[in-house]
């Protein structure tokens, strides 16, 4: 996963060329504030003991406590978590949230664990990192292969360790433990709002635009539904097993029902089944990668025939692929904008917990639309004013907020002329 960190650094350097930054801010953003690697010994159901590696990185907390998810995946590494924490720093600044950036994970395949083993891994991870997280320090959430059940175990374990109920330490919790309505559709809801806001800009006046979605998990499936309801033709979707395609537009509800029933798109009775990788090369208006990082890379970027990419996944396009797509005239709307709905609603949950309040689904939806639309328009304006690609404009927008906060700590004034 070293390429993720290298890609993050490359995009940082590119944005620095177009942003009004202080030297202090550039230096402070080169290295994370804190990085922790822990061992998590877990007694398995058969009585054996296994030890898993866990990580938590707090990249920057100038604007507030670090914010970022916890993923369970066999390939989780220090470099991957650092890159994702770096991206979270920009994402929270882009959305003007009072957070910094963090990320965590455990190198484990949760599909190979029983429910009881998964609970022991989850609680063991929190026991190992409990001293470096907290509502005012670092606030974890869900990510790849973690869900509200896992967050429930984790917030309960944190409370046991610290001898107090502290729901604001983790977001993405079950509703009875302080979760918030709309959190599980927030990434897709935010992505849809960005796509709707930018559709005319990136596609022109296109009737019934077509979309292919790579990754049919929680975010991808919900986004497919929203797009279909809005008049888009969702012509293809894929998961780790297969892709399904219908040039006239899939019956998204039927595809979702098959996936819910079987856990896979393989054997779907709707549309034509394709190899899972074929979805990337379909001729569509919008390609929407919604799976893992690095799905579009130097070896396959030349196959892309979409007019625009909306990055719902974190880091789905490598820096090398960026250049190929740019040369081909493919526009990219970046992940730190497109998938920011999740962290924005996590902020709402954190506020709710701090206030001891309960928000309604309508309140969440209205506040999310207000924030997403405002920041999407701000990025588009900046792109126009400085003649920048949308990705660079999003990073510059975030960077200038970060440098304002860092300079406001007074470091530069200590060495200035005092005037």
Q: What are the catalytic residues?
A: 103
* Spatial CA neighbour of 302 closest among 289, 286, 287, 321: 321
For residue 342, with 0-12 CB atoms within 10 Å meaning exposed, 13-18 middle and 19 or more buried, which class applies? buried
DSSP track, 348-407: HHHHHHHHT----HHHHHHHHHHHHHHHHHHHHHHHHHHT--HHHHHHHHHHHHHHHHHH
Strand pairing partners for 237?
A: 213, 244
Q: How far is CA 352 from CA 154, 343, 347, 357, in A?
A: 18, 14, 9, 5
Return the beta strands (E) in 133-251 as ranges.
Answer: 138-142, 210-214, 233-238, 243-245
**Residue 403 · residue 25 · CB < 8 Å:** yes
Cα–Cα dist 331/309, whole Å: 6
Residue 139, helix vs strand vs coil: strand
Residue 106, helix vs strand vs coil: strand
Strand pairing partners for 309?
A: 287, 332
Cα–Cα dist 194/371, whole Å: 11
DSSP track, 61-99: -SSSSEEEEEEEETT--HHHHHHHHHHHHHHHHHTT-S-
Residue at token pair 């005319």: 200
- Size (the chain), residues: 419
């Amino acid at each position: 996963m070293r390429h993720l960190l290298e890609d993050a650094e490359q995009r940082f350097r590119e944005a620095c060329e177009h942003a009004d930054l202080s030297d202090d801010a550039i230096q402070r953003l080169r290295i994370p504030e804190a990085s922790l690697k822990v061992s998590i010994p877990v007694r398995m159901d058969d009585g054996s003991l296994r030890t898993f590696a866990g990580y938590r990185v707090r990249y920057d907390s100038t604007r507030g406590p670090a914010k970022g998810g916890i993923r369970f995946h066999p390939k989780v590494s220090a470099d991957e978590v650092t890159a994702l924490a770096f991206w979270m720093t920009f994402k929270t600044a882009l959305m003007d949230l009072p957070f910094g950036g963090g990320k965590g994970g455990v190198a484990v395949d949760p599909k190979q664990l029983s429910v009881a083993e998964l609970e022991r891994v989850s609680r063991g991870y929190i026991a190992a990192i409990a001293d470096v997280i907290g509502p005012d320090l670092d606030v974890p959430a869900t990510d790849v292969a973690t869900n509200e059940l896992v967050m429930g175990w984790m917030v309960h374990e944190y409370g046991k360790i610290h001898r107090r109920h502290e729901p604001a330490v983790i977001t993405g919790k079950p509703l009875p433990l302080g979760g918030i309505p709309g959190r599980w559709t927030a990434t897709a809801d935010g992505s849809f709002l960005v796509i709707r806001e930018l559709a005319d800009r990136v596609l022109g006046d296109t009737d019934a635009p077509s979309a292919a979605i790579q990754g049919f998990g929680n975010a991808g499936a919900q986004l497919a539904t929203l797009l279909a309801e809005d008049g888009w033709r969702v012509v293809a979707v894929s998961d780790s097993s297969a892709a399904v395609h219908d040039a006239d537009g899939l019956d998204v509800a039927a595809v979702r029902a098959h996936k819910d029933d079987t856990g896979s798109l393989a054997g779907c009775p709707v549309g034509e089944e394709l190899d899972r990788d074929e979805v990337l090369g379909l001729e569509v208006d919008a390609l929407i990668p919604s799976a893992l990082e690095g799905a579009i890379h130097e070896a396959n970027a030349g196959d892309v025939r979409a007019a625009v990419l909306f990055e719902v996944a974190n880091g789905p396009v490598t820096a090398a692929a960026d250049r190929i797509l740019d040369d081909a005239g493919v526009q990219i709307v970046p992940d730190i904008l497109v998938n920011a709905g999740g962290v924005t609603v996590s902020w709402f949950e954190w506020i709710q917990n701090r206030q001891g309040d309960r928000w309604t689904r309508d309140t969440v939806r209205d506040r999310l639309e207000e924030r997403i639309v405002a920041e999407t328009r701000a990025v588009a304006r900046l792109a126009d004013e400085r003649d920048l690609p949308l990705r660079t404009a999003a990073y510059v927008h975030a960077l200038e907020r970060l440098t304002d906060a860092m300079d406001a700590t007074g470091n530069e004034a200590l060495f200035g002329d005092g005037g």
